[in-house]
Protein backbone atom coordinates (compact mmCIF):
# COMPACT_ATOMS: atom_id res chain seq x y z
CA UNK A 1 0.00 0.00 0.00
CA UNK A 2 1.13 3.54 -0.72
CA UNK A 3 0.64 5.34 2.59
CA UNK A 4 1.19 9.04 2.87
CA UNK A 5 0.38 10.05 6.43
CA UNK A 6 -0.92 8.82 9.79
CA UNK A 7 -3.15 10.94 11.98
CA UNK A 8 -2.80 9.26 15.40
CA UNK A 9 -6.25 10.22 16.65
CA UNK A 10 -9.54 11.69 15.50
CA UNK A 11 -12.88 12.07 17.22
CA UNK A 12 -14.54 13.46 14.10
CA UNK A 13 -13.82 11.21 11.16
CA UNK A 14 -15.37 7.96 12.35
CA UNK A 15 -18.87 8.73 13.70
CA UNK A 16 -18.97 8.01 17.44
CA UNK A 17 -15.56 6.32 17.58
CA UNK A 18 -12.05 7.14 18.64
CA UNK A 19 -10.00 6.39 15.57
CA UNK A 20 -6.73 6.95 13.79
CA UNK A 21 -6.55 7.88 10.13
CA UNK A 22 -4.29 6.35 7.55
CA UNK A 23 -4.02 8.44 4.39
CA UNK A 24 -3.18 6.58 1.21
CA UNK A 25 -1.74 8.07 -1.99
CA UNK A 26 -2.90 8.43 -5.59
CA UNK A 27 -6.38 9.01 -6.97
CA UNK A 28 -8.23 8.46 -10.24
CA UNK A 29 -10.07 11.79 -9.96
CA UNK A 30 -8.76 15.30 -10.38
CA UNK A 31 -11.12 17.39 -8.27
CA UNK A 32 -9.86 20.96 -8.48
CA UNK A 33 -10.59 21.51 -4.80
CA UNK A 34 -8.48 18.54 -3.68
CA UNK A 35 -6.35 19.68 -0.76
CA UNK A 36 -3.06 18.00 -1.54
CA UNK A 37 -2.09 17.62 -5.20
CA UNK A 38 1.28 16.16 -4.16
CA UNK A 39 -0.44 12.86 -3.42
CA UNK A 40 -2.78 12.87 -6.42
CA UNK A 41 -0.92 13.89 -9.53
CA UNK A 42 1.40 11.11 -10.75
CA UNK A 43 4.24 13.53 -11.58
CA UNK A 44 4.11 15.01 -8.06
CA UNK A 45 3.61 11.62 -6.47
CA UNK A 46 6.92 10.51 -8.00
CA UNK A 47 8.64 13.32 -6.09
CA UNK A 48 6.85 12.55 -2.82
CA UNK A 49 7.44 8.78 -2.98
CA UNK A 50 10.44 9.13 -0.69
CA UNK A 51 8.17 10.61 2.01
CA UNK A 52 5.70 7.72 1.97
CA UNK A 53 5.25 5.69 5.14
CA UNK A 54 6.34 2.04 5.05
CA UNK A 55 3.47 -0.33 5.82
CA UNK A 56 5.57 -1.84 8.59
CA UNK A 57 5.74 1.55 10.34
CA UNK A 58 1.96 1.82 10.22
CA UNK A 59 1.46 -1.63 11.74
CA UNK A 60 4.08 -0.87 14.42
CA UNK A 61 2.03 2.22 15.23
CA UNK A 62 -1.13 0.09 15.47
CA UNK A 63 0.58 -2.38 17.76
CA UNK A 64 1.47 0.43 20.16
CA UNK A 65 -1.83 2.32 19.96
CA UNK A 66 -4.48 -0.38 19.51
CA UNK A 67 -5.58 -0.20 23.17
CA UNK A 68 -6.51 3.46 22.77
CA UNK A 69 -8.34 3.14 19.48
CA UNK A 70 -11.71 1.77 18.43
CA UNK A 71 -11.21 2.09 14.71
CA UNK A 72 -9.12 3.04 11.71
CA UNK A 73 -10.22 5.34 8.93
CA UNK A 74 -8.66 4.54 5.55
CA UNK A 75 -9.03 7.56 3.37
CA UNK A 76 -7.59 10.04 0.92
CA UNK A 77 -6.58 9.97 -1.60
CA UNK A 78 -8.46 6.99 -3.15
CA UNK A 79 -7.72 3.76 -1.23
CA UNK A 80 -9.55 1.45 -3.66
CA UNK A 81 -7.13 2.10 -6.52
CA UNK A 82 -4.50 0.14 -4.61
CA UNK A 83 -4.35 -3.51 -5.49
CA UNK A 84 -3.40 -4.70 -2.00
CA UNK A 85 -6.20 -2.90 -0.16
CA UNK A 86 -7.93 -6.19 0.66
CA UNK A 87 -4.85 -7.66 2.39
CA UNK A 88 -4.17 -4.37 4.12
CA UNK A 89 -7.69 -4.22 5.60
CA UNK A 90 -7.50 -7.86 6.62
CA UNK A 91 -4.32 -7.14 8.52
CA UNK A 92 -5.93 -4.16 10.30
CA UNK A 93 -8.84 -6.40 11.25
CA UNK A 94 -6.41 -8.81 12.93
CA UNK A 95 -5.94 -6.03 15.52
CA UNK A 96 -9.66 -6.28 16.34
CA UNK A 97 -10.29 -2.72 15.22
CA UNK A 98 -13.27 -1.31 13.35
CA UNK A 99 -12.55 -0.11 9.82
CA UNK A 100 -14.08 2.86 8.06
CA UNK A 101 -13.38 3.21 4.36
CA UNK A 102 -13.65 6.56 2.58
CA UNK A 103 -14.00 6.15 -1.16
CA UNK A 104 -15.19 7.87 -4.29
CA UNK A 105 -16.82 4.58 -5.29
CA UNK A 106 -14.64 3.82 -8.32
CA UNK A 107 -14.26 0.09 -7.56
CA UNK A 108 -17.55 -1.61 -6.63
CA UNK A 109 -15.91 -5.03 -6.78
CA UNK A 110 -13.50 -4.49 -3.90
CA UNK A 111 -16.20 -2.58 -2.02
CA UNK A 112 -18.57 -5.53 -2.25
CA UNK A 113 -15.88 -8.02 -1.29
CA UNK A 114 -14.91 -6.05 1.82
CA UNK A 115 -18.55 -5.68 2.84
CA UNK A 116 -19.47 -9.31 2.17
CA UNK A 117 -16.53 -10.54 4.21
CA UNK A 118 -17.30 -8.13 7.08
CA UNK A 119 -13.96 -6.44 6.70
CA UNK A 120 -15.37 -2.92 6.75
CA UNK A 121 -17.74 -1.52 9.34
CA UNK A 122 -18.52 1.89 7.88
CA UNK A 123 -18.22 3.30 4.37
CA UNK A 124 -18.32 6.98 3.41
CA UNK A 125 -18.78 7.47 -0.31
CA UNK A 126 -18.34 10.79 -2.08
CA UNK A 127 -20.90 11.83 -4.63
CA UNK A 128 -19.21 14.72 -6.35
CA UNK A 129 -22.02 15.96 -8.48
CA UNK A 130 -25.45 15.20 -9.87
CA UNK A 131 -25.25 11.74 -11.36
CA UNK A 132 -26.34 12.96 -14.78
CA UNK A 133 -23.35 15.28 -14.99
CA UNK A 134 -20.33 14.36 -12.96
CA UNK A 135 -18.23 17.24 -14.15
CA UNK A 136 -16.78 18.01 -10.74
CA UNK A 137 -14.65 14.87 -10.88
CA UNK A 138 -12.86 16.86 -13.61
CA UNK A 139 -12.60 13.70 -15.68
CA UNK A 140 -14.00 14.00 -19.15
CA UNK A 141 -16.50 11.35 -20.31
CA UNK A 142 -16.37 9.48 -17.02
CA UNK A 143 -17.96 6.04 -17.15
CA UNK A 144 -20.53 6.30 -14.37
CA UNK A 145 -21.30 2.57 -14.17
CA UNK A 146 -18.92 1.69 -11.31
CA UNK A 147 -20.06 4.69 -9.25
CA UNK A 148 -23.72 3.82 -9.69
CA UNK A 149 -22.93 0.21 -8.77
CA UNK A 150 -21.15 1.32 -5.58
CA UNK A 151 -24.18 3.43 -4.62
CA UNK A 152 -26.40 0.40 -5.16
CA UNK A 153 -24.17 -1.79 -3.01
CA UNK A 154 -24.27 0.64 -0.11
CA UNK A 155 -28.03 1.11 -0.44
CA UNK A 156 -28.44 -2.58 0.36
CA UNK A 157 -27.69 -1.53 3.96
CA UNK A 158 -25.34 -4.45 4.64
CA UNK A 159 -22.91 -2.04 6.24
CA UNK A 160 -23.23 1.28 8.03
CA UNK A 161 -22.66 4.04 5.49
CA UNK A 162 -23.05 7.62 4.43
CA UNK A 163 -22.95 9.50 1.17
CA UNK A 164 -21.40 12.93 1.12
CA UNK A 165 -20.78 15.84 -1.18
CA UNK A 166 -18.28 18.65 -0.85
CA UNK A 167 -20.48 21.51 -1.91
CA UNK A 168 -19.15 24.41 -3.91
CA UNK A 169 -21.17 27.59 -3.66
CA UNK A 170 -21.09 28.55 -7.35
CA UNK A 171 -21.71 25.01 -8.56
CA UNK A 172 -24.02 23.02 -6.29
CA UNK A 173 -27.36 24.66 -6.79
CA UNK A 174 -30.38 23.50 -4.81
CA UNK A 175 -31.57 21.75 -7.97
CA UNK A 176 -28.32 19.76 -8.21
CA UNK A 177 -28.50 18.75 -4.56
CA UNK A 178 -32.09 17.66 -5.09
CA UNK A 179 -31.01 15.55 -8.09
CA UNK A 180 -28.41 13.80 -5.93
CA UNK A 181 -30.82 13.30 -3.04
CA UNK A 182 -33.43 11.84 -5.42
CA UNK A 183 -30.84 9.44 -6.85
CA UNK A 184 -30.11 8.11 -3.35
CA UNK A 185 -33.72 8.15 -2.19
CA UNK A 186 -34.19 6.08 1.00
CA UNK A 187 -30.48 6.22 1.78
CA UNK A 188 -29.59 6.31 5.43
CA UNK A 189 -27.42 9.40 5.57
CA UNK A 190 -26.27 12.19 3.27
CA UNK A 191 -23.74 14.76 4.43
CA UNK A 192 -23.19 18.16 2.89
CA UNK A 193 -19.65 19.36 3.42
CA UNK A 194 -19.27 23.09 3.02
CA UNK A 195 -16.14 23.67 0.93
CA UNK A 196 -13.53 25.73 2.64
CA UNK A 197 -10.40 26.94 0.93
CA UNK A 198 -7.41 25.72 2.93
CA UNK A 199 -4.32 26.70 1.00
CA UNK A 200 -2.79 24.34 -1.53
CA UNK A 201 -5.38 23.01 -3.99
CA UNK A 202 -5.04 20.80 -7.04
CA UNK A 203 -6.19 23.73 -9.16
CA UNK A 204 -4.41 26.71 -7.56
CA UNK A 205 -6.90 29.10 -9.19
CA UNK A 206 -9.95 27.32 -7.85
CA UNK A 207 -12.05 29.58 -5.72
CA UNK A 208 -15.10 28.77 -3.71
CA UNK A 209 -17.16 30.84 -1.33
CA UNK A 210 -18.80 29.10 1.60
CA UNK A 211 -22.56 28.61 1.68
CA UNK A 212 -24.29 30.63 4.38
CA UNK A 213 -26.09 28.90 7.25
CA UNK A 214 -29.42 29.87 5.68
CA UNK A 215 -28.46 28.36 2.32
CA UNK A 216 -27.29 25.17 4.00
CA UNK A 217 -30.50 24.85 5.98
CA UNK A 218 -32.54 25.27 2.79
CA UNK A 219 -30.54 22.45 1.15
CA UNK A 220 -30.96 20.25 4.18
CA UNK A 221 -34.70 20.71 4.02
CA UNK A 222 -34.67 19.50 0.40
CA UNK A 223 -32.45 16.51 1.18
CA UNK A 224 -34.68 15.41 4.04
CA UNK A 225 -37.53 14.86 1.58
CA UNK A 226 -35.56 11.88 0.26
CA UNK A 227 -33.02 10.75 2.84
CA UNK A 228 -33.40 9.77 6.48
CA UNK A 229 -30.55 11.82 7.94
CA UNK A 230 -28.89 14.92 6.52
CA UNK A 231 -25.84 16.25 8.26
CA UNK A 232 -24.20 19.55 7.50
CA UNK A 233 -20.46 19.74 7.99
CA UNK A 234 -18.82 23.12 8.02
S1 LIG B 1 -10.89 15.24 -3.57
FE2 LIG B 1 -10.83 13.01 -3.23
S3 LIG B 1 -11.64 12.14 -5.12
FE4 LIG B 1 -11.06 14.25 -5.60
S5 LIG B 1 -8.96 14.15 -6.39
FE6 LIG B 1 -8.82 14.52 -4.19
S7 LIG B 1 -8.65 12.49 -3.25
FE8 LIG B 1 -9.41 12.22 -5.34
**d(CA 60, ligand 1 centre) in Å:** 28
Ligand 1 contact, 125 CB (< 6 A): no
> Is the predicted pLDDT of residue 137 greater than 70, yes or no?
no
Ligand 1 contact, 40 CB (< 6 A): yes
What contacts 93, CB < 8 A, 6 or more positions away? 99, 119
Mean pLDDT of the chain: 92
pLDDT digits (tens, 9 = 90+) for 53-74: 999 999 999 999 999 999 999 9
- At 155, is the secondary structure helix, strand, or coil? helix
Ligand 1 contact, 77 CB (< 6 A): yes
pLDDT digits (tens, 9 = 90+) for 147-187: 999 999 999 989 999 999 999 988 899 999 999 999 999 99
Ligand 1 contact, 23 CB (< 6 A): no
Beta bridge partners of 161: 123
Give every strand in the sheet of 189-194, ordered side by side.
3-10, 19-24, 71-75, 98-103, 122-126, 160-167, 189-194, 229-233
**d(CA 47, ligand 1 centre) in Å:** 19
User: How many angstroms from the chain centroid is the CA of residue 41?
Assistant: 18
Are the C-beta atoms of residues 155 and 188 closer than 8 Å to each other? no
Residue 78 phi, psi dihedral angles, 5° rounding: -130, 100
- According to DSSP, the β-strands at 160-167 and 122-126 are parallel
Share of the chain above pLDDT 90, in %: 71
**d(CA 67, ligand 1 centre) in Å:** 31
Question: Domain 3-164 carries which CATH code?
Answer: 3.20.20.70
> pLDDT at position 44, please?
81
Backbone conformation region of residue 172, classed left if phi is above 0, alpha if psi is from -120 to 50, else beta: beta
Ligand 1 contact, 34 CB (< 6 A): yes
> Is the predicted pLDDT of residue 46 greater than 80, yes or no?
no
Nearest residue by C-alpha to atom 4 in ligand 1: 31
Euclidean distance between CA atoms 118 and 90, whole angstroms: 10
| pTM score of the predicted model | 0.93
> pLDDT at position 212, please?
93
**d(CA 17, ligand 1 centre) in Å:** 24
> Is the predicted pLDDT of residue 94 greater than 90, yes or no?
yes
Euclidean distance between CA atoms 135 and 133, whole angstroms: 6
**d(CA 134, ligand 1 centre) in Å:** 13
User: Which H or E run contains 150?
Assistant: helix 145-155
**What are the residue ranges spanned by the domains of the chain?**
3-164
Query: Which atom in ligand 1 lies closest to the alpha carbon of residue 33?
Result: 1
Nearest residue by C-alpha to atom 7 in ligand 1: 77
Question: Taking residues 97-114, what's their average pLDDT?
Answer: 97
> pLDDT at position 123, please?
98
Amino acid sequence: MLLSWIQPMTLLDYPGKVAAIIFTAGCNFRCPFCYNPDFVLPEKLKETMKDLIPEKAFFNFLEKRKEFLEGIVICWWEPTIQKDLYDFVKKIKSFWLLVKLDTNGQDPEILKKLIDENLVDYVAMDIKDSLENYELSWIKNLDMKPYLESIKILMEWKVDYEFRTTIIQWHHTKAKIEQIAKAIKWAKKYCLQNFEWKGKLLDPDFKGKRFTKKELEAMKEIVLRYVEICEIRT
